[in-house]
Amino acid sequence: MEQYAHTSLLARLQLALEAKGENKAARRLLVATGYYADDDAAGITSLVMRHCREYGIDPREVLGDGAPQCPPRIVMTPVFTMAATHPRTGRWRLAEVERIALSARLLGPTCFVTRMDDRALEPRIRQGAYLVVDTAQELPPSGVRAGEQGVPFALDLSGEGLVVRLTSYDHCRDCFELTALDSAQPPRTVPRETAGCRVVGRVVWVAQEL
Do residues 162 and 155 touch, judged by C-beta distance below 8 A? yes
Contacts of 120 (CB under 8 A, 6+ apart): 164, 165, 180, 181, 182, 185
Order the strands of the 175-179 sheet from edge to edge.
96-103, 74-80, 111-115, 130-134, 197-207, 151-157, 161-170, 175-179, 188-191
pLDDT tens readout for residues 8-46: 778 888 888 888 888 888 888 777 766 666 667 777 788
pLDDT tens readout for residues 57-99: 888 888 877 666 645 555 688 999 999 998 888 899 989 999 9
pLDDT tens readout for residues 129-181: 999 999 988 777 666 665 556 789 999 998 899 999 999 888 888 888 899 99
E strand or H helix that includes residue 169: strand 161-170
pLDDT at 6 over 80: no
Distance, in Å, from the CA atom of 159 to the CA atom of 120, rounded to the nearest integer, reads 18
pLDDT tens readout for residues 93-119: 989 999 988 877 778 888 999 999 999
Q: What CATH number has the domain spanning 73-210?
A: 2.10.109.10
Contacts of 73 (CB under 8 A, 6+ apart): 103, 104
pLDDT at 203 over 80: yes
Residue spans per domain, the chain? 1-71, 73-210
